[in-house]
């Protein structure tokens, strides 16, 4: 059974930083593209960032480019999202996701975590 467990969310002031983690189990982690989505209150879930299985290729939504870095540790089956210069518009539940490619990940992930709340106060 595949499990994706997010952690690292919380309340932070605007301009602050958070590092989200997603620990995966039940899958051959090194063969999956991994990514992050978010859903703000009253809005649809949106893609945030993705990293290829090797960690070499990354992709970001424009609104987080330059402020966020996605990375992965295949030995620990964990993917990270480092978020800096946070703004109130980043407030959302952040979900970890997995698929066999970045292309599929951005459109229809195979697996989802349950999410972690990020709240940025102004």
Question: Which neighbouring-strand residues pair with 19?
Answer: 82
Tell me the mean pLDDT in the region 90-96.
98
Which pLDDT value is given to residue 100? 96
In the predicted model, what is the mean pLDDT of the chain? 97
Separation between Cα atoms, residue 103 and residue 108, nearest integer Å: 9
Q: 41-90, pLDDT tens digit by residue?
A: 999 999 999 999 999 999 999 999 999 999 999 999 999 999 999 999 99
Which pLDDT value is given to residue 85? 98
Contact predicate 19/7, CB 8 Å:
no
Pairing of strands 18-25, 3-7: antiparallel
- Starting from the edge strand earliest in sequence, which strands make up the sheet with 68-73, in order? 3-7, 18-25, 78-83, 68-73
């Amino acid at each position: 059974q595949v499990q994706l467990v997010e952690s690292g969310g919380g309340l932070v002031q605007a301009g602050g930083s958070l590092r989200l983690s997603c620990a995966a189990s039940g899958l051959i982690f090194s063969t999956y593209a991994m990514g992050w989505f978010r859903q703000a209150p009253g809005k649809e879930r949106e893609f945030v960032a993705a990293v290829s299985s090797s960690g070499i290729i990354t992709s970001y939504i424009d609104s987080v480019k330059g402020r966020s870095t996605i990375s992965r540790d295949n030995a620990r089956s964990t993917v990270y999202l480092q978020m800096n210069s946070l703004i109130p518009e980043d407030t959302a539940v952040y979900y970890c996701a997995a698929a066999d490619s970045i292309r599929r990940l951005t459109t229809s992930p195979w697996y989802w975590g349950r999410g972690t709340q990020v709240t940025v106060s102004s």
